[in-house]
Amino acid sequence: MSEDSDLKFNSFVLKITGEVFRSPSTLNRICREIAHLPVKRALVVGGGNLIRGRTADWEKRLLFDRIGLLSTVINGLLLEETLRRYCDPFHLSSLPIPGVVEGYSKEKAEGAFLACRPVIISGGTGNPFFSTDTACALRAVELKVELVMKGTRVKGVYSKDPEKFRNAKFYKELTYERVLRERLEVMDQTALLLLAEAKVPLVVFDIFQEGNIRRILNKEKVGSWIC
Ligand code: UDP
C-alpha cells in the first residue's frame, strides 16, 4: 500500500506566505512536496516579501495595497515556474493580466482539481483593504475544501510573538471562538470569521520544516489546530 493511502484529507487550501519566496531552495522543496499529492489542492500566494499595504500611512493604503496585490501575482508566477519542474499547475488570479495569467473562477479551479492539477491562486481577493488570509478563507469556503493550512515561519499559534518573547505559550489546539475572543495572531478577523462560520478547520504550521505538509494531511500532531 502506498504512503498516500494514509492521507486523511481529500482537499485543502494552503496559504503560502510571501516569506517563502525569499528562499528559492525552500520554494523548490515545498513544490516537490505538493506536486504529486493525490488530493485537490489550491495554493493561495502572499506577497509580504515584496510589500504589505498595512505598513503604509492610511492615505497611501490604496496604492500600497494595489502594489501588494501585484506582488502576489509576481510570486504566483514564480510558484508556477517552480511547480512546473514537477507537475502541471494551473495559475488563476483575482487580478488577471492578459497573456500572463487568467482570471480566477470557482469553475476553472474545480476543473483543474478534477485533472489533479495544483491550482495557484494569486491576486488576493482582487480588492484593496483585504489580505491574502481573507482570500485564502474565501477560496476555501467557495471550493468547499476540507482543510485550510496556513504556513508560517513559526511552529503555530502562541500567546504572544514567539520571535520576541521567550515565554510565549504554544497552543496545540484552539477553538475559533477563543482565537477570536483573545484576538490571537492567527489570521485576520475577517478570514477567521468566515472559516468559523463555514466550519472549515485550520492548521497553522511551520512551512519551513520539511515534511510538515504530508504530516498534517496524515493528521499528525504538527502545528496548531483550530476548529
Ligand atoms: N492585498 C490586498 N488585498 C488582498 C490581498 C492582498 O490589498 O485581497 C495586498 C495587501 O497590501 C497585502 C499585500 O497584498 O499586504 C500582500 O499580501 P499579504 O500581506 O497577505 O502577504 P503575506 O503576508 O501573506 O506574504
- Mean pLDDT, rounded, for 114-140: 97
Q: Is 161 exposed, middle or buried (0-12, 13-18, 19+ CB in 10 A)?
A: exposed
Distance 159 CA to ligand 1 centre (A): 24
Instruction: Give the predicted TM-score (pTM) of the model.
Output: 0.95
Distance 5 CA to ligand 1 centre (A): 35
Q: What local confidence, expressed as pLDDT, does residue 54 receive? A: 87
| 151 C-beta closer than 6 A to ligand 1 | no
Which of 120, 116, 130, 32 has the alpha carbon at shortest distance from 78?
A: 120
Q: Please say if the pLDDT value at position 2 is more than 60.
A: no
- Beta strand segments in the chain, E: 11-16, 40-45, 90-93, 102-103, 119-122, 147-152, 157-158, 170-171, 173-174, 202-206, 224-226
- Mean pLDDT, rounded, for 42-64: 93
- Mean pLDDT, rounded, for 202-222: 96
Q: What is the pLDDT of residues 73-108, one digit of tens each?
A: 999 999 999 999 999 999 999 999 999 999 999 999
